[in-house]
Amino acid sequence: MASNQRGLADSTIFAVNIEVAESYELMSRRAAGLVMAELKKRPSLILCASAGGTPTRLYELLAARHQRQPRLFGKMRVLQIDEWGGLPRRHAASCETDLRLKLLEPLQIRGERYAGFRTDSPDPESECSKMRRWLAKNGPIDVCILGLGVNGHVAMNEPAPALMPHAHVSVLTRSSLKHPMLKELKQKPRFGLTLGMTDILSSGMVLLMVNGRHKREALERLLKPKVTTQFPASFVWLHPRGFVLCDRESAPRIQSPQKSAKSTKKTYRRI
């Protein structure tokens, strides 16, 4: 068994594009450029969107482009990647409220062009089933926007001995419950609703965005080509069109790939 595992590791090719921008603004502009390039190729593109601070400027740039060229976005669809479970509907801290303000309303994404989780659903499992059906009918995702959790989570896929492949109810860690979106809440969410790792890795393109000094430790761990369920973000190494876009605050020093990692291919780029 051990020899088979070594053979598999030796034959596996990891590839990820790592781009370091000198500022959050430049990182966001690069992300917007990648999204727009895909949208021009596929007008009905499915953008899987994360809430929170990291993609905020990206969404502002897309909104500004929409003001100039609204027809470009006329068929685009948005899929919510995750949601805090147990909050009242349209709560100010919900991921959907964040996305509505920053993305859905500015891009005029309405009706069947948006799919998301209900934070106040009395049956969270049915919400996950609904999202699984939506992806089975409409997917796969074209562009998936991810953030990097300080504990390595992506969406609400938390570090664990095993990861779920599709939409599921997630047990949130203490780290996730300290998220800035929740800082004013006296009563924290009881669980998370999230797409799974197979849903994410089936995307045509994955953009994992990282910014800020507080993400340095997590980013340094991510840059080591070791894929583990205890650090879900590491699965970006398995994606053929995976991008890690970071700003200089989060990546003060990017070291060259280790010579010992012969099976690893990294593309470093300053933007």
- Of the candidates 19, 82, 96, 127, the residue annotated as catalytic is 82
d(CA 209, CA 172): 21
Please state the domain extents for the chain: 12-270
Query: For 61-115, how does the pLDDT look when each residue is reduced to its tens digit (9 = 90+)?
Result: 999 999 999 999 999 999 999 999 988 888 888 999 999 999 999 999 999 999 9
d(CA 36, CA 30): 10
- Of the candidates 96, 98, 127, 158, the residue annotated as catalytic is 158
d(CA 106, CA 117): 20
- Of the candidates 151, 168, 199, 247, the residue annotated as catalytic is 151
Q: Which fold would CATH assign to domain 12-270?
A: Rossmann fold (3.40.50)
Q: Known catalytic residue: 166?
A: no
Q: Known catalytic residue: 82?
A: yes
- The confidence band for 270, taking pLDDT boundaries of 50, 70 and 90, is low
Average pLDDT, the chain: 89
Q: What is the mean pLDDT of residues 21-46?
A: 98
Q: Known catalytic residue: 10?
A: no
- Of the candidates 96, 127, 153, 179, the residue annotated as catalytic is 153
Report the pLDDT value the prediction gives residue 32, as an integer from 0 to 100.
98
Q: Known catalytic residue: 239?
A: no
pTM of the model: 0.88
Query: For 184-222, how does the pLDDT look when each residue is reduced to its tens digit (9 = 90+)?
Result: 777 788 899 999 999 999 999 999 999 999 999 999 999
Looking at the predicted structure, is the pLDDT value of residue 33 above 60?
Answer: yes
